[in-house]
Amino acid sequence: MTDERADADTGGGDADGDADADVDANADIDANADADTNADGDAELTHTDDSGEVDMVDVGDKPDTARRAVARGRIELRPGTVEAVRDSEIGKGDVLATARVGAVQAVKHTWETIPLCHQIPITNVDTDFTLQESAIELTVAVETTGKTGCEMEALEGVTTGLNVVWDMVKSAEKDADGQYPGTGIEGVEVVEKTKRVI
């Protein structure tokens, strides 16, 4: 397992306007609730106006809070491929180092790839790879101080990091027909989301 901390200075905002409620690890919950619901208590979409037009969420009145989001996912690979990654025997180079850079870059540029994300300051990115028998798992933790969450950044970091792994190991994963019958990215999810009023 490898672990590295990487600092970055700009990134993209939570694409849903931080619409879902945050859980605060320090029990210091922002009084300005993030959940958008109607009179019946049902969740409402925050990226459309009354006429159904797409609209960026206005977060200008929200207080600045310290926020953290963690996402993870995995890429299923042949056991021999995982062993080659572990032993640094992939011809293209250091798979995990390259994937780590890709993950951090994706976090920083989320606002450019997801149309309605806000550009937010990224204060820290942690990446952690776990090599399993026939898979590599990537966990990405993103921190920011601002008006909206960073779970989209964490998800972008995971998906791009795993895509980089796939790109690096393509030659080892292809079958005789040039296909990828046993390769796949799975289980991408947000596993933690917290915030703390500052």
Percent of the chain surpassing pLDDT 90:
63
Q: What pLDDT score was predicted for residue 35?
A: 45
pLDDT digits (tens, 9 = 90+) for 40-62: 555 565 555 566 565 666 555 67
Instruction: Report the alpha-carbon distance of residue 138 to residue 159 in Å, rounded.
Output: 9
In the chain, domain spans: 2-197
Predicted TM-score of the model (pTM) = 0.75
Lookup: tokens for 127: 């990446």
167 is a catalytic site residue: yes
Question: Is residue 142 scored above 70 in pLDDT?
Answer: yes
Q: What pLDDT score was predicted for residue 145?
A: 95
Q: Which residue has the higher pLDDT, 161 or 33?
A: 161
Q: What are phi and psi of 31, to 5 degrees?
A: -65, -25
Considering 28, 64, 167, 175, which one is annotated as catalytic?
167
CATH class of 2-197: alpha beta
Question: Is residue 18 scored above 50 in pLDDT?
Answer: no
Instruction: Report the alpha-carbon distance of residue 196 to residue 18 in Å, rounded.
Output: 14
